[in-house]
Structure 1
Amino acid sequence: MSFFAVFGNPIKHSKSAEIYALFANEIGISKGYDLKLVSQDNFHYLLYDFFKLGGLGANITSPFKENAYFLCNQLTERAEKSRSVNTIKKLKNGVLLGDNTDGIGFISDLKRLNWIDNDNISDTNKSTVINILLIGAGGASKGIVPVLLTTIEKCHINIVNRTFSKAQVLTSYYQEIGYKNVSCMPLCELYYDTSKYSLIINATTSSMYSAILKIPSFLITPVTKCYDLFYQKQDTSFISWCKKNGSNYCADGLGMLVGQAAHAFLLWHNLFPSIDPVLNHLRSTF
């Protein structure tokens, strides 16, 4: 059997096995990696069976990250704060350690893009407070909010979501654990919002369906940095919309995908692989 695997549904499209193989080849590791298609009914059982039969590490993808949080015996601080797990390591004593590398993978990609300068968003306005608009309040957002708040100096995150109550729940949770610089508003109120956002993040699945988000175009300026957690060969629908409305700084989530995978690899093997060669390879093989 393979000692590493990714669990999700759907899973056929996943690039995790290819990424792991490229990392492993660089480091000189020969352990295999599988794709595991699971359901809400059998995820719990198949995950535990995988580790019981000799599995050493697992990646968890949509929609099971919150489920995985409750299946781990021990959690890193990142996983605890995000209340979701995308990486599990079986320790020598059999304990399942849960981590969330989404946030650090996202920050790593912002640094690769040179969008972060001295732990701040590079901003020609040099605002006292860096305003970030986060669209979406699901599992993807949970993984990146705490890392953004602790990494970027003097930032404020405003969360909007199609279902406002979900944004309220997420905001309340982060405020309760000490992050006061996070707020939310109904999606429709963005049309009256006078904030100038340095970074706008699409953490919804809208681009997966080529949908256009219902947000006002005046939020976009030539220096607004726009990031879509979704990725594909061509520009996503969100990135196309941002470019159309004037942004000169747009990126999709492939860099974050490779970045979070690299940090998962580090957790498993105590070695950090090279990100750029893998990212370039994936771009060339789309």
Structure 2
Amino acid sequence: MDSFAVFGNPIKHSKSAEIYALFAHEIGISKKYNLKLAVQDNFNYLLHNFFNLGGLGANITSPFKENAYFLCNQLTERAEKARSVNTIKKLKNGTLLGDNTDGIGFISDLKRINWLDNNNQITSHEHEDEEPITNILLIGAGGAAKGILPILLTTITTCHINIVNRTFSRAQELTSYYQEIGYKNISCLPLHKLRYDTNKYSLIINATTSNIHNTIPKIPYFLITPDTKCYDLFYTKQDTLFITWCKKNGSNYCSDGLGMLVGQAAHSFFLWHNTFPTIDPVINHLRSVFYM
């Protein structure tokens, strides 16, 4: 019987089972973790059946994170704010606790690669007397963006986040939600109007699925400078298309989302087992055996 599993579609490419096995080996835990392919019509049934048959914890990946939000009996504060769940734990009373570890995994990775300092500010390679406000461009308004927004807004307190999305109404909806719950340092802009944007962005985050479709977000090249940090939540064996494009346009600081993947998995593992595993050896292992 599977004690843990990840649900998604597609799911064959998922590294979650391998990551869990490496964490479990380090801690000395022997539990079975498997991949579960679902579709919209059977996701709810498969998830509840998994827990009814003895499942202890589940990871949820695209495109079911928002579905999972509504299937949990309790939610952590970060899941509540994100309105999206990527980790579920079955509590001793049989109820399901929903969490979202994407954001804390993302922040952990920014610290790991030294893009975030001890004061939770984006590290600067320019003049220290510049404006304290850090502009962040978030491309995408789907589940991935929802997962990282709450912790970005609460951790990097001097930032201003500008959201762009292919469907502008989704960016507007996301912006309005956070403004209504008290965050004023967030705005949105139609994608085509970025060409007139005069903001200087310290961090640009690709939270779209453009890589899956072999495309890149249509943002102006002049937003990229040598000091612009460009982070793609997606990851591949080589540089993602987005990272390749950012490097071509001059960025000296680029990272894919493998570190975030392992980071969020570590926080999921901690929720389930109350023990935090070591992250770096797992990232290094995955890099060495990448088979995407």
Answer yes or no: same fold by TM over 0.5: yes
Structure 2 spans left out of the alignment, 5+ residues:
none
- 3-state secondary structure, aligned to 1:85: coil
Q: Distance in 1 between matches of 2:131 and 2:247?
A: 23
1:200 paired with 2:201, answer no
Q: 2:248 aligns with which of 244, 247, 265?
A: 244
Structure 1 spans left out of the alignment, 5+ residues:
none
Q: Distance in 1 between matches of 2:160 and 2:217?
A: 22
Show the counterpart of 1:212: 216
Show the counterpart of 2:47: 47
Q: Distance in 1 between matches of 2:214 and 2:61?
A: 21
Show the counterpart of 2:77: 77
- 3-state secondary structure, aligned to 2:116: coil
Q: Distance in 2 between matches of 1:127 and 1:282?
A: 38
1:133-282 superposed matches below 5 A:
133-282=137-286
Q: Distance in 1 between matches of 2:184 and 2:197?
A: 20
Deviations 1:146-176 (A, max 9, x none): 1001111310000000111110000001111
Show the counterpart of 1:120: 121
1:209 shift after superposition: 2.3
- Is the contact made by 1:200 and 1:227 (CA closer than 8 Å) also made in structure 2? yes
- Is the contact made by 2:207 and 2:232 (CA closer than 8 Å) also made in structure 1? yes
Deviations 1:226-284 (A, max 9, x none): 00011001111100010001000000000000000000000000000000000000000
Show the counterpart of 1:57: 57
- Is the contact made by 1:210 and 1:236 (CA closer than 8 Å) also made in structure 2? no
1:24 shift after superposition: 0.1
Amino acid at match of 1:189: K
- 3-state secondary structure, aligned to 2:97: strand
Q: Distance in 2 between matches of 1:205 and 1:37?
A: 19
Aligned-pair Cα RMSD in Å: 0.7
Amino acid at match of 2:57: G
Amino acid at match of 1:20: Y
1:213 shift after superposition: 2.0
- 3-state secondary structure, aligned to 2:217: coil
Amino acid at match of 1:30: S
Of stretches 201-210 and 88-97 in structure 1, the one that deviates more from structure 2 is 201-210
1:214 shift after superposition: 1.3
* Number of equivalenced pairs: 286
Amino acid at match of 2:6: V
- Is the contact made by 2:3 and 2:31 (CA closer than 8 Å) also made in structure 1? yes
Amino acid at match of 2:185: N
- 3-state secondary structure, aligned to 1:121: coil
Q: Distance in 2 between matches of 1:127 and 1:11?
A: 43
Q: Distance in 2 between matches of 1:207 and 1:43?
A: 25
Show the counterpart of 1:3: 3
1:207 shift after superposition: 1.6
Q: Distance in 1 between matches of 2:238 and 2:156?
A: 29
Query: Normalising by the residue count of structure 1, what TM-score does the alignment of the two structures yield?
Result: 0.99
1:95 shift after superposition: 1.1
1:187 shift after superposition: 0.5
Amino acid at match of 1:18: E
1:127 shift after superposition: 2.7
